[in-house]
Structure 1
Amino acid sequence: MNGLIGKKIGMTSVYDSTGKSVACTVIEAGPCVVTQVKTEQTDGYTALQLAYGDTKAKNTSKPLQGHFEKANTEPKHKLVEFRDFSIVEKAIGEIIKVDDVFNEGDMVHAVGVTKGKGFQGVVKRYGFAGVGGATHGQHNRQRAPGSMGASSYPSRVFKGKRLPGRTGGDNVKVKNLKVLKVFADQNLILIKGAIPGHKGAYVILEKK
């Protein structure tokens, strides 16, 4: 599957051919460096390993520093492998740009990490309505989870019960998003709709 690594810049809106305003996400997709080429003969499958996002050598392990030196590139922050990449003739160290992979009108899948929201209660985490009004003896119970189970049996809370806890920070794939525009000179791509992650978060784009 063809794809690129990118960074979420933010959101904006553009007008389509009918004059309707369409919300979209701006992604800086690439340029990505080919750091490894896998083939059927050597690895049992075909894939390209791409790298994106400069980082300091002091923050990179020695094995990875050698890995990047083989590709004749500076240390990168993000490494992603794309299996069955159609551009298999690419060699180690070559650059893949956004217009090499995506065109306007393409459908893509976007993989990102959702915004972390910390420890949250059941109202924010799962959309619970709370116990109810403040009358009839209800005191400070508006955002409580309510009953969790019987007393004599099972005398415990079942596993999987939706309770307060850490919210967000999950890997999420959003499928079938449309590419609205590609700005090859700026390595930017505009994708219809929202993509998981905060501004500046890394995003993996897979061409459908």
Structure 2
Amino acid sequence: MSSSPDTSSTGPVLRVAQQVPRTEAEGPGRRFALWVQGCPLRCPGCCNPEMFAMERGTVVTVEAMAARVLATPGIEGLTILGGEPFSQADAAAELCERVRAGGLSTLVFTGYTLAELKAQGRPGVERLLASLDLLVDGRYEKDQPETGRRWIGSRNQVMHFLTPRYAPEDPTFTAPNTAEVHLIEGRIIVNGWPDLADRLRP
């Protein structure tokens, strides 16, 4: 994606790598998936290495992104992944607050553990955690592929249920993993379980 900013509104901004308006491969229900650009962790074997660099992607205001998500029909929630969402914690928190106010659920995938995030003591991190229903944490470990839990990349990663909106005993969370192929604005985007997604990428 280009680095040209979305100047249709003002306020906090996110650097975005890609978007899929409707997917069932990035969390419970049909969700708007947003990949942010930039990750300092750079896990070996990551399926999105093109999202490591901080300076790439498209700059989009939170106001414009929230309006886009809330205007998408038939979705249950927003999933933010990347890249590393907590590298843009303040803007991501505001986005999650806005979409939750509109009745949608929120899920973030992070390479940090929850303990690491709490230890940072940054207000933006605490604000983002407070705006989430679900958090999937931990580095991606390519030698520990997860096959028994849906939406989880490696066995070390943990899904934290931060509000009562979802429950771990829901059978949805143990259904088989999936990957999807989308054609969006002339680009082929493959998302979902890392192993399947890598096989499907052109």
Of structures 1 and 2, the one with the larger relative CO (CA 8 A, separation 6+) is 1
Same fold? TM cut 0.5:
no
Larger radius of gyration: 1
Q: Please identify which structure carries the higher strand content.
A: 1
Query: What TM-score range do you get, normalising by the shorter chain?
Result: under 0.3
